[in-house]
Every structure is written in structure tokens, then in C-alpha cells.
């Protein structure tokens, strides 16, 4: 407990110095919370960590729901999965040969796979959120507007890859992506001596995970900066009403 009190005191001092220099809005918020706590009228460390957990839970839930729905990836320009960079010339060549529909079918199918895999993210996120410690919480408070998202990404990426890849491989088969992918490169290889065969499942897995964290970060920023995004009493208490 003594170490925890000292940690809080140190954070208050740091946040005060940042506030004086006009930097670190969230640090100022953290310092105010902890200073109030020292006077007996503020939040406890448990309140702070619970608030951060709730913010992450809210952000991840909204992100997963958004991206796992039909067209969650496909009709969202910010996260839509396009063909790999090394395949763009293939796409242009096939379109010029009147095979645009074949390419469009391939792109639609890989986005459907990303949407399908996103459904498996929620329990992985929730497990990581539950494991957040006081030390993790203090690190997040000292961090940038997406520090909680960074914590989550570091904590879950290996599990997400392990969970997503088999789902995406299965989904690519189910949605016909592998069939379209094979057809795209079979058609291209008939007119080119250069063979291209990227690992489709790994590529889509990476893009699907990037897409989810894009929106988790977006939700975190909203909760930190927009009072209207704080949907519960605890979030209002920790981040301000």
C-alpha cells in the first residue's frame, strides 16, 4: 500500500509539471483525480482501473460489432481490405483485360473473411481487459490518447493472430476467396512471366486486426475527449461528465 501511495504521489507531481507547461491533458486529468483522492473526496485506484477497463470494454464491443457485421469492412473506406501492394499491378492488368468482375469478387470475398473473423475478437479482448493491473492503469493514464489501445494491442496480438487465422482460412474457403484468388493469378500468369503468390490468409488476418484496432483507438479518443461518449456513470466519474 505504501508503494502504491508513493506511486500516486509521483504521478501527481509529474502531472502537475506537465499541466504547467501546457502539455499532457490526460495527465492533468489523472493528477486532479489522484490529488482529490489524497484529500479523501476523489477516486480510488480501483475506481480508476475500473473506469479504464470499462472504457476499453465499451470501445472493443462497439468496434467488434461494427466490423463483424455485413459490409463492416467492405463498405468502410478506412479499413476496407484491398489486394496486397504486390498484387496491384495484377489488378490493373486484369481490369484492362475486361476481368474487373473477377477482381471485384476477390476483394469482396477477402473482406467477408475479415468480417467473419472479427466475431472471435470479443472474448480475447475481454480476457486482456480483466487482467489489467493498477500499474497498467497508471501507465495508460500517463500515455497518449490511444494508450489503452496500445496496451490492448500488445496484450492480445499473438492470441488474435492465432484465433483469426484459422477462421479467416475457413472463411476464405466459404466465401470463395481462395477460388477467386486462384482464378485471379491463374488469369494473370497466362499473360505474365512474373509469378505472384502472396500468402492470402496471413495478409487478410493482419488487415482484419489492423481494422479492429483502428476503431478501438477511435473509440478511446472519443471517451477521453467527448463527454457524450461516456455512456456509463463510472466513465463519467473517471473521465469527467
* Sequence-separated (6 or more) residues with CB below 8 Å from residue 19: 27, 28, 31
Burial of 194 (0-12, 13-18, 19+ CB in 10 A): exposed
> 16 pLDDT exceeds 70?
no
Angle at 156 between CA 150 and CA 159, to 5 degrees: 155
* Sequence-separated (6 or more) residues with CB below 8 Å from residue 8: 34, 37, 38, 45
160 closest CA partner among 125, 132, 130, 113: 125
With the C-alpha atoms ordered 165, 84, 76, 113, is the resulting torsion angle positive or negative? Answer: negative
Map out the domains of the chain as residue ranges: 1-42, 44-239
**Confidence band for 4, pLDDT divided at 50, 70 and 90:** very low
Tell me what pLDDT residue 153 has.
Answer: 94
- pLDDT per residue as tens digits for the range 122-165: 999 999 998 888 888 888 877 888 999 999 999 999 999 999 99
Q: Helix %, strand %, coil % for the chain, to 5?
A: 75, 0, 25
**Cell of residue 100, nine digits:** 474487373
Burial of 85 (0-12, 13-18, 19+ CB in 10 A): exposed
Amino acid at each position: 500500500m505504501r508503494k502504491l501511495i508513493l506511486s500516486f504521489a509521483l504521478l501527481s507531481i509529474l502531472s502537475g509539471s506537465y499541466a504547467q507547461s501546457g502539455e499532457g491533458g490526460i495527465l492533468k486529468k489523472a493528477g486532479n483525480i489522484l490529488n482529490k483522492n489524497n484529500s479523501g473526496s476523489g477516486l480510488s485506484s480501483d475506481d480508476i482501473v475500473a473506469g479504464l477497463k470499462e472504457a476499453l470494454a465499451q470501445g472493443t464491443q462497439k468496434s467488434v460489432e461494427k466490423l463483424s457485421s455485413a459490409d463492416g469492412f467492405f463498405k468502410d473506406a478506412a479499413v476496407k481490405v484491398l489486394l496486397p501492394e504486390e498484387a496491384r499491378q495484377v489488378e490493373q492488368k486484369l481490369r484492362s483485360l475486361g476481368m474487373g468482375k473477377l477482381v471485384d469478387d476477390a476483394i469482396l470475398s477477402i473482406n467477408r473473411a475479415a468480417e467473419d473473423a472479427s466475431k472471435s475478437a470479443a472474448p480475447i479482448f475481454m480476457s486482456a481487459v480483466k487482467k489489467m493491473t493498477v500499474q497498467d492503469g497508471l501507465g495508460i493514464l500517463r500515455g497518449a490518447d490511444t494508450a489503452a489501445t496500445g496496451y490492448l494491442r500488445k496484450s492480445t496480438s499473438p492470441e488474435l493472430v492465432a484465433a483469426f487465422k484459422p477462421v479467416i482460412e475457413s472463411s476464405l474457403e466459404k466465401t470463395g476467396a481462395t477460388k477467386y484468388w486462384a482464378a485471379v493469378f491463374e488469369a494473370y500468369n497466362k499473360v505474365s512471366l512474373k509469378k505472384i503468390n502472396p500468402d492470402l490468409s496471413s495478409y487478410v488476418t493482419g488487415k482484419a486486426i489492423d481494422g479492429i484496432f483502428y476503431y478501438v483507438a477511435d473509440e478511446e479518443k472519443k471517451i477521453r475527449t467527448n463527454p457524450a461518449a461516456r455512456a456509463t456513470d463510472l466513465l463519467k466519474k473517471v473521465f469527467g461528465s
